[in-house]
Amino acid sequence: MSITEQIADLERLVVVDRTIRELGEQIGKERQQIDGVRAELGELETRLAADSQSTAEMDKTRLDLVQELRLIDKQLQRSRERLQRARNEREANAAERELDELRKLQRDRDEEVKKITELGEQARASMEQSERRQAELRSELEGSSEGVARSVAELETRLEAARQERKLVAARLPVRLLRRYDRLSTRLPAPVAACQQAEALQGTCLGCHIQLPPAMFHRMLSRTQFEECPNCHRIIYYRPAEPEGGAGPPDGESS
Ligand SMILES: [Zn+2]
């Protein structure tokens, strides 16, 4: 009994399995792209919330400082009056000391207000930047999620068709042969190979290009059973070389 039909089915299986693998990878890539945008949006939201909380705190601190400065101003006014009213050197010295302390306090608070104002401006600028990026990403997501959803749906339709075809082809193959194929395909993407005649009665596995034992090659010539390549363990069969100027291999050499 000839194995010609099984050969065609096995070769078809290799092609269909490659398609299934590639479609799965493409779907993953499409989804990853959207996931990346979503992740960045999430980070931006967290950063914006933190920035908004810290600017609120800075605003509050700044108001407190401004109020304290007003009080210091009043105290300075009083100290100056005390200095003017001083009746002796002791009172004048005390007022001077008070004035010095208050002026130092005023400088310190002024410095703090300046610093916190600067920090607040920086935080606000960074928030504006985050908001611009957020708007950018949102519109990108809106535009691309539609596109991605469409192309994922289209890829999934093709994947489903490939899976259906695989079922049909697999159902036609003898169970033991299919099991052998499936077992091999976990480590070899194309577990089926042809073998061709190199020289008189010498065959070569086209999967790993090793020379096959002559007795094995001789058995294969009749195309009644599959063999296993002693080197790469692929399922192998004999495919006669195409005559010169022929129509090429019957169903596309796997590359
Ligand atoms: Zn081989």
What's the CATH fold of domain 22-172? Helix Hairpins (1.10.287)
If pLDDT is split at 50, 70 and 90, which confidence band does 237 have?
Answer: very high
If pLDDT is split at 50, 70 and 90, which confidence band does 1 have?
Answer: low
CA of 199 to the centre of ligand 1 (A): 17
CA of 68 to the centre of ligand 1 (A): 87
Please tell me the predicted confidence (pLDDT) of residue 234.
96
CA distance 177 to 184: 11
CA of 51 to the centre of ligand 1 (A): 63
Closest C-alpha among 253, 229, 224, 192 to residue 9: 192
CA of 169 to the centre of ligand 1 (A): 24
CA of 192 to the centre of ligand 1 (A): 9
CA distance 24 to 152: 10
CA of 142 to the centre of ligand 1 (A): 50
CA of 162 to the centre of ligand 1 (A): 27
Reported as a single tens digit per residue, the pLDDT across 194-232 is 998 876 678 999 999 999 999 999 999 899 999 999 999
Reported as a single tens digit per residue, the pLDDT across 147-161 is 888 899 999 999 999
Q: Is the pLDDT of residue 248 over 50?
A: no
CA of 217 to the centre of ligand 1 (A): 12
Please tell me the predicted confidence (pLDDT) of residue 244.
62
Angle at 179 between CA 178 and CA 181, to 5 degrees: 65
H or E, element range at 194? strand 192-199
> Look-up: residue for tokens 């159902």?
171
Q: Where in the chain is the domain with CATH 1.10.287.1490?
A: 22-172
Q: Under a CB-based contact definition with an 8 Å cutoff, are residues 31 and 152 in contact?
A: yes
CA of 191 to the centre of ligand 1 (A): 9
CA of 102 to the centre of ligand 1 (A): 93
Contacts 24+ apart (CB under 8 A), 197-204: 197/238, 197/240, 197/241, 203/238
CA distance 19 to 63: 66
Burial of 119 (0-12, 13-18, 19+ CB in 10 A): middle
CA of 172 to the centre of ligand 1 (A): 25
CA of 38 to the centre of ligand 1 (A): 47
CA of 220 to the centre of ligand 1 (A): 14
Angle at 124 between CA 120 and CA 128, to 5 degrees: 170
pTM beyond 0.75: no
CA of 33 to the centre of ligand 1 (A): 39
Reported as a single tens digit per residue, the pLDDT across 57-111 is 999 999 999 999 999 999 999 999 999 999 999 999 999 999 999 999 999 999 9
According to DSSP, residue 213 is labeled P
According to DSSP, residue 211 is labeled B
Structure tokens given for 188? 């070899």
